[in-house]
Every structure is written in structure tokens, then in C-alpha cells.
A = this chain, B = another copy of it.
Amino acid sequence: MQKMLRYGMVGGGNDGFIGRAHRHAIAVCERAVLAAGCFSIDQKINIQSGQRLGVEQNRIYTDYRQMAQAEGAREDGIDFVVIAVPNFLHAEVARCFMEQGIHIFCEKPLCFTLEEALQLEDMAREKGLVFGVNYGYPGYNMLKYARDYIRQGAIGRIINVNAEYLQEWMIDEVGQGEQAVRQLGTWRSDPKKSGPSNCVADIGTHIESTVAYVTGLKLTRVAAAMDTFGRPLDLNANILVEFEGGAHGVYACSQVCAGHYNGLVLRIFGMQGSLEWQQENPNVLTVCKKGQPTQTLQRAAGYITGRAAMLNTLPTGHPEGLVQAFANHYRAFMDAIQAIREGQTLAAEDMDFPDVTAGVNGVRFVEACVKSNANGGVWTPV
């Protein structure tokens, strides 16, 4: 029987969106309780957040280093920590908790350089720790079914990929020049806080990780046209991609596309058929066998089989959303932790969450795109 785990959170105070999303995802797993936290550098927010969430007073920490040590030392210390701090702190916080033997679930991006990413990957392996990185979209049920569908050969060899992630929210950044100070955009446009890329790193990597998950294809080269519109970092990018085996595709990502909110869309084309999935309508998968009518598949319908069929928390037609996608990853992540506690090994198939290697691949993809773009859009190895 599953044991109720304990977890901690660094960041996520003041009702910030992403920290809350992690907590909700864990909550609907009904397998772990929030036991400790360091929710904000603002201590008032930190304490209020902890109290509101029912964390005991002495486990609301003023400093994440202190938290790592104290929790690492407790008999009933946290099993894993959720890292939901600003991007430039991810690596440091992760190292700190790994030192104490605490498993990690970290927001993306993992970090800013491939070198550091590989170090984190090594450290997790050496310490035998489970390390999730929140490339959360493959958590959606219908993408699990899509992956199985492709693996079973239902669409044949993949010959073209068309994927995009379009948003509108930074459109006012366009043409504002360096001086403009729009709060939201500012740190996103600051290489120190955001790393070498804004748009490709923030959402382009979601395309990369989601396509990789669904298709199993290895990306070999990219040719990127990234647009900064006068800002330090990119707000828009159109990227040609090439996969092992020679198939091509295009990844379009943008934060300046009016009318698009969180428009991650995948279209995978094979010799025998195709499939399409849209994040904003995630309970549906569209498939088409060549020469046949297009089919609309619904989550949890009787014809959905395999892993996707095991993850439903609601019947067909009762919408699941992003929280359930994240939860699907957390379940596998906690299975992996429990397996370690019980001295067992989880089957590769069941390690179904984005791990530190997914995080490394994200960093690798960003580096290749930035390099291609800097060199006039030349094809660049990933």
C-alpha cells in the first residue's frame, strides 16, 4: 500500500500561480502532504503562506539552505521538495536539497548552461535521487495515448512535424527599446535572470520536450530565426528542425501573437496517418489514417487503452485540466520515490515523468537555437 509522503516547497508563496499549480497537482494525487516550506524571501508572505496552508510553525523556514539542513536531519523530514523559485536559482536550490538526500521536483528551465545542467544530472545519478523537471504538458492523458499510438506504428514512420506554442502576453514589449520598464517583461528580457533566451527557453522548450515525448524522435539540428524586436532577448522564433533519420519540421514559438493564450499545438505526420493535439482543448486527440475520415478521440472513452486509460480521475466528457496533467507526472515521480524506499526498481515504462535529462535536453535545445540565430540562421547541431 502507498505511504502518504511529506513534501516541502521553496517559493510558491503569495499565491503565485506556478507554486499553487504544483500543490494542487500533488493534492489530487492524495499521496503526499505539505509538511515544510520556505515560500518567499519576504518573511511576512512566507509565514502567512505557510500558516494558510497548514504547515507547522517550526517548519516554515526563513532560508532554503536552513530548510534543506533541518529537513534532511529530521526523522520525519520531507521526502521531496518542489522548487518554484525564479529561474536563475533553480540549480542552486536543487543542489542544496540533493546534498541532504532529498528528492527534487524543479520548475523548468533546469538552469542556463549545458555544463551546469549536466552537473545536476550527474549529481542526481550519483546520489540516487529522483529528479523531476516540470515539462508538464506530456502529463496530459491524451499525449500518453498519442505516444502509444505512434509507438504501435499507427501513423507509420514520421515524415513531418509541425508544432507551435503561441502566446500574446508580451506583445506590448515589441519595439519598446531597452529603456522600457514593463514589470512583467523586465526580468524576462534580462539575460541575468532569464538566461540566454526568453521565448525559446520559456516555451520553445515545451515544444521540444513534448514532441520528443510523443514521437520518441531525437532532434539533430536546428535553424532558428529569433526576433528580439529591439529587446535584449527573443520574443518570437521560427525554427526549422531536423530529426534523426532525416525528417524535418517546424517549431514556431511566440509571446507576441495576439489572440493566443497558451497555444501549444502538436501535429505529427507519418506515412500512414497523422495526429493533432491542442493544449487548450486537452481532453481530445485528433487522429487520421491516410485516406480515412479524421477521428476525434476523447479522454477516458472505452477505446482509449494503455497507460492513458489508467490515469483518468474523471469520466469522459468531464474536463480534466493542467492540474491533472501535472498530477499524472507527480504520481509517477512518487512511485519512483516509493520504489527507492522499498529497495525496488521502477520499470522504465513507469518512470513516466520528465526527469533531469529532459531538463538537460531543454538547455541543449536553447543553446543550439541561440547559436544558430547568432550565426545567421545556419543549421546547427543540437
A264 smallest CB distance to B (angstroms): 9
Q: CB distance A303 to B296 under 8 Å? A: no
Q: Which B residues lie within 8 Å of A27 (CB)? A: 24, 27-28, 30
Q: CB distance B160 to A162 under 8 Å? A: no
Instruction: Tell me the chain A residues, 244-303 only, with Cβ under 8 Å from chain B.
Output: 247-250, 252, 254, 256-263, 267, 269-274, 276, 279-283, 286-298, 301-303
**Cα A75 to Cα B30 with chains together (Å):** 26
Which of A187-195, A341-349, A372-380 contacts the other chain?
A372-380
Copies assembled: 4
Chain B: which residue is nearest A263 at the CB level? Answer: B317
Q: With A240-B223, A258-B288, A298-B261 in contact, is A17–B314 under 8 Å at CB?
A: yes
Q: CB distance B321 to A319 under 8 Å? A: yes
**Cα A175 to Cα B246 with chains together (Å):** 13
On A, residues with C-beta under 8 Å from B are: 1-2, 4, 17, 20-21, 23-24, 27-28, 30, 33, 48, 51-54, 155, 157, 159-160, 162, 164, 167-168, 171-172, 174-175, 223, 225, 227, 229, 236, 238, 240, 242, 247-250, 252, 254, 256-263, 267, 269-274, 276, 279-283, 286-298, 301-303, 313-324, 376-379
Q: With A296-B294, A301-B293 in contact, is A252–B250 under 8 Å at CB?
A: yes
